[in-house]
Amino acid sequence: MNCPRCRAPLRTEKHKGIEVDRCTQCQGMWLDHHELDELEDTVMDDDQIKGTMMFRFQGSDLSCPKCQAPMQWFRYRHYDLELDFCEAEHGFWLDKGEEKRVLEIMQQRLKDLKRSSSAEAEWDKFLSQVNTRSFMDKVKDLFRK
Ligand SMILES: [Zn+2]
Ligand SMILES: [Zn+2]
């Protein structure tokens, strides 16, 4: 596969025990669609927390390194972080540093939840919403609307 951004070859490497494809030139990272879930699992293992993401999406200027179809991008949770993904579930593209931000955002969110007392009600709500659907299922829901 080649980098959707700069066309340099992607090299498979281990990132926190997960196999990812890293661009040898721009250091961007390609995650197969289940791998973003696994990356999140290295920080939080509670699907209820992961289920709180909000999406906004639109066409991306990148194309999927697997099928060459144009990708879409979405906003990761409520934060100012945009991820590109292939609608055919081939995966996600993270520019250099974005995967670090994903982890930072998740760690911050966990801290906020534990610290704030008003988060307790929110926490209960999470626990009551049993949610076993995958990350990609949630993305697909958006396209159904
Ligand atoms: Zn690149
Ligand atoms: Zn694709």
pLDDT value for 124: 55
* Ligand minimally distant from the alpha carbon of residue 8: 1
In the sheet that 29-31 helps form, which strands lie side by side, from edge to edge? 10-15, 18-23, 29-31, 92-94, 82-85, 70-75, 57-63
Is 30 inside a domain boundary? yes
From CA 88, how far away is CA 67, in angstroms rounded? 8
Is 1 inside a domain boundary? no
Is 119 inside a domain boundary? yes
**How far apart are the CA of 32 and the centre of ligand 2, in A?**
10
pLDDT value for 78: 53
pLDDT, tens digit only, all 145 positions of the chain: 999 999 999 999 887 677 789 999 999 988 887 766 666 666 555 544 444 444 455 678 899 999 999 998 876 655 667 778 888 888 888 888 887 777 676 666 666 666 654 555 555 555 554 344 555 565 555 555 4
**How far apart are the CA of 82 and the centre of ligand 1, in A?**
17
Q: Which two tokens stand for residue 142?
A: 């958006």
pLDDT value for 7: 94
Is 2 inside a domain boundary? no
**How far apart are the CA of 22 and the centre of ligand 2, in A?**
17
**Number of domains composing the chain:** 1
pLDDT value for 145: 44
Is 136 inside a domain boundary? yes
Is 18 inside a domain boundary? yes
From CA 62, how far away is CA 69, in angstroms rounded? 9
* Ligand minimally distant from the alpha carbon of residue 90: 2
pLDDT value for 118: 53
Is 3 inside a domain boundary? no
Q: Which residues contact 9 (CB under 8 A, 6 or more apart)?
A: 1, 2, 3, 23, 24
Is 125 inside a domain boundary? yes
pLDDT value for 53: 47
**How far apart are the CA of 44 and the centre of ligand 1, in A?**
29
| Residue numbers of the domain that contains 96 | 10-144
Rounded to two decimals, the pTM is 0.59
**How far apart are the CA of 104 and the centre of ligand 2, in A?**
27
**How far apart are the CA of 95 and the centre of ligand 1, in A?**
8
* Ligand minimally distant from the alpha carbon of residue 94: 1
